[in-house]
Structure 1
């Protein structure tokens, strides 16, 4: 879910990417891959990793479904891993080729979306919440009312990131429902709340890291790691955890069924499970990872950061999004389509 700005990596020819010894094609969220990590990997293995960016799970899924993409690894969010798996788009991992598989923190092994980590390796995890410039708005930021019942100080100054699953489920929790609900009364309330709030929004866009750092926007629904990066550039910014409910995500790396550089992919998967390397991923994008022992290699400012260490009072409000039923997905898509008009 998360994370994620404009594409910064090399974009490759649409005709597909030929396999070649010593190369690896990674399809990942934008601004989410540490260049330092890739340099270290190349220095140790001789393998060059080329990164192609995407901005949404649905974008990645559609590209992989279409075939002919040439990618080897992809990094879907938790609720999309079962879709990739069930559609036969990713391969079951051979754990005998992953010497560092035991470094996955036990809490991230038997996860609901991939029990036993048969198909994926943790990349990073975090939350979706509210980022606010406290010089502009000094009220409660730990509520989705910031974007669903916009305070006067933020009207025309708030951005809502265009992530359907996050935004629609935030609205569902706000009106008292459960994520991926099929309850049409709850869905109508969520839809009405979103439609009523939209005129008070400035935009529905990515790019909050830059625009909030520069005071172009006063608030945004965004991701916690990016929120920390914003605060480091602009100390007036704070991150809020909606008490009505907010999404948690874990993005994980999966080997594509039609990967052409399989040996290189396994070397990369094993490499990122070393604690010091997992810490490099986190140090760049500012999200927690799922590798035990990585904490000692993390920057000091992440160990106590309010965007990374969830305050106790808001922990229970965080929920991993389930994989929605086709009917629930249909309802949410209808709401989202109307919201885009």
Structure 2
């Protein structure tokens, strides 16, 4: 029987016996991605003080945690890299005595192949990676990867590309004709390499913290995540989000407790806290992504239900592809291309 979803904060506190918790919690997360309102409420409810440290890519996060001595308790990796985190023993299984509300996870996000039965993780946010364009500068088709792979003259030198290898490699591979982000077709990867290297001189930057820059018109177009694109559009209505018809990534970021966490109980308490629909909605209302928690829609900004960045137009739904974790030989090829691109 499905667990009854707790709505009131008082009921939540009583059910989990966290009212007298104290101490600290250190979260390692993507930049500008954690709701300040949620953290303030969590601290008020539990007495646990929270510190947030930002990372800018899955590669950065994985490298930092592998080094050890980081002091983080919770990390938020994307689904496509989770098998690596789990296989390398970097994550701790969730404590069922504290993380009691996994039944609040929507069925499609529960028995997922990257963490079957959610033994290590819970959903944080899910979304897409597509194209953002300032339509006052460029009035052509925005539902194409050519915006950054073969930039129109109007956008030359005014394009930003997020520094996330898995997303950029996937979009470029799909544009080259791949049917998977992990294709074994070496001709595809040679084309991806050549296309990206030729396109880079026409870009302004590879940066991730650019919501305000898009809103101000400092950047005219780029590859961006849907929620961040919505945040920028709310400040500048000339911005529009496009879905490359050749294919675009669908992804989910997931919260997990690190194997060497120093504040394990507090971390588990936080994990269960974001499984409550009203708290998951705080994450979504801030970052503007879906969250995968049953009942959270009741607490979310109604504008998200019809936002073109969130509600994918029917004609582009089929082009969305849930990125897989690539075999090591394919991952090595992608890494070689990415390393050369960054030089």
TM-score relative to the length of structure 2: 0.91
Runs of 4+ in structure 1 deviating by more than 3 angstroms, as ranges, are none
CA contact (8 A) 1:22 1:46 kept: yes
Q: Which residue of structure 2 lines up, in the alignment, with residue 261 of structure 1?
A: 263
Q: Which residue of structure 2 lines up, in the alignment, with residue 83 of structure 1?
A: 84
CA distance in 1, matches of 2:57, 2:235: 25
Residues 89-109 of structure 1 show CA distances to partners (whole Å, capped at 9, x for unaligned) of 001112232222111011100
CA contact (8 A) 1:208 1:222 kept: no
Q: Which residue of structure 2 lines up, in the alignment, with residue 337 of structure 1?
A: 339
Q: Which of 285, 293, 296 is the aligned partner of 2:295?
A: 293
Q: What is the SS of the residue equivalent to 1:97?
A: coil
CA distance in 2, matches of 1:62, 1:198: 25
What is the Cα deviation at residue 303 of structure 1?
A: 1.3
Residues 217-240 of structure 1 show CA distances to partners (whole Å, capped at 9, x for unaligned) of 110101000000000000000000
CA distance in 1, matches of 2:209, 2:332: 28
2:214 counterpart of 1:212: yes
Q: Which residue of structure 1 lines up, in the alignment, with residue 4 of structure 2?
A: none
CA distance in 2, matches of 1:156, 1:70: 40
* Count of paired positions: 322
CA distance in 2, matches of 1:311, 1:212: 23
CA contact (8 A) 1:126 1:224 kept: yes
Q: Which of 226, 231, 234 is the aligned partner of 1:229?
A: 231
CA distance in 2, matches of 1:202, 1:25: 34
- The unaligned stretches of length 5 or more in structure 1 are 1-19
CA distance in 1, matches of 2:222, 2:154: 13
Q: What is the SS of the residue equivalent to 2:127?
A: strand
Q: What is the SS of the residue equivalent to 2:77?
A: coil
CA contact (8 A) 1:21 1:261 kept: no
Residues 67-123 of structure 1 show CA distances to partners (whole Å, capped at 9, x for unaligned) of 111111100000111111000000111223222211101110011211111110100
Correspondence 1:148-187 to 2 at 5 A: 148-177=149-178, 178-187=180-189
Q: Which residue of structure 2 lines up, in the alignment, with residue 54 of structure 1?
A: 55
TM-score relative to the length of structure 1: 0.92
CA distance in 1, matches of 2:67, 2:184: 29
Q: What is the SS of the residue equivalent to 1:330?
A: helix
Q: What is the SS of the residue equivalent to 1:96?
A: coil
Q: What is the SS of the residue equivalent to 1:307?
A: coil
